[in-house]
Homo-oligomer: A and B are copies of this chain.
């Protein structure tokens, strides 16, 4: 493995110039830059990352803690994120170090990884409302990027979707179809995103003078979707439309509608937010699911870049980006049924 010194010796140049030539500094003659590039290539030069890191004070490694559910079941979103993040980080010479959260206290795994004293920053995901990890990391001056936001006006870099907007768009679509009684099958409210969706839902409904009687916040399982929908549909003035936290929940809701002897979309409209995970594809529903859509995969590259930009000194307030959400109308939504 060739080093800068060897290249400089080969060319009769100084190490400085070789370094600058390869790193694209302006103060090196084009002629020499070409020559340096050529011999570097020829000698199979590859910068020693460790040496780079020693002198720059950066480790080139960022951490992420994987939260495992009590049953050790793997989160489907995890591999989606892992795939995207490692690719995005690699393109900026950064590696992802993983650790598993088995502790009850949410900050302990971060503390542990931090003690190893090797990380430049963290990527956080799945924020809960007023996330304790935020306080901890900020107190310790550790840079991080959050996928989502744990509070309305955060002071840290973040990337995510506008969840209030998700609800607003969903309500708008359904209200325009004439629906009045719209249900929200939401995630547990401790999840920041669920809290935002709820606020957005309430705001959008109240703006139209619609009541928000049908809201449930619980774990996003198919079975829960099924249960809640069944329950709501057996009331005296049942909802005519469901907004679901995820496509998985929508699957449960649709099953409940079916089991009630009702049809989608004729009797009941169903829509969901779609992270575009490969396993549960909205297009494969019958009828195909109307969704607000923001592929999780699309978040990976921005998350990586935001964190690395932040490490390069870019201030947090310039690094709070929202992902676009698409509304895709498919077969599972239709005009509200005539009132009897």
Contacts and interface: CB of A to CB of B under 8 A. Distances in A.
Interface of A: 46, 48-51, 53-54, 59-61, 66, 68, 71-76, 78-80, 82-83, 86, 90, 93, 95-100, 102, 112, 116-118, 277-279
A82 B59 contact: no
Contacts of A90: 99, 112, 116
Given A46-B117, A93-B116, A116-B95, A74 B68 contact: no
Contacts of A99: 86, 90
- Chain A interface SS verdict (over half): mixed
Closest 6 CB pairs of A and B: A74-B74, A83-B100, A72-B278, A50-B54, A95-B97, A50-B53
A279 B71 contact: yes
A55 to B, nearest CB: 9
Contacts of A61: 61, 95
A73 B76 contact: yes
Given A72-B279, A82-B98, A97-B97, 9 more contacts: A48-B117, A49-B117, A49-B118, A54-B54, A61-B61, A71-B279, A72-B76, A86-B99, A86-B100
Contacts of A49: 59, 116-118
B86 A78 contact: no
A74 B76 contact: yes
Contacts of A66: 79, 82
B59 A50 contact: yes
A97 B119 CA distance: 12
29 contacts: A48-B117, A49-B116, A49-B118, A50-B53, A50-B118, A51-B54, A54-B54, A61-B61, A61-B95, A66-B82, A68-B83, A71-B278, A72-B76, A72-B277, A72-B279, A73-B279, A74-B74, A74-B76, A74-B78, A82-B100, A83-B102, A90-B99, A90-B112, A90-B116, A93-B116, A95-B97, A95-B116, A97-B97, A98-B98
A78 B46 CA distance: 32
Contacts of A278: 71-72
Contacts of A59: 49-50
A4 to B, nearest CB: 14
Contact of A74 (B48, B79, B95): B79
Given A53-B50, A76-B73, A80-B72, A96 B97 contact: yes
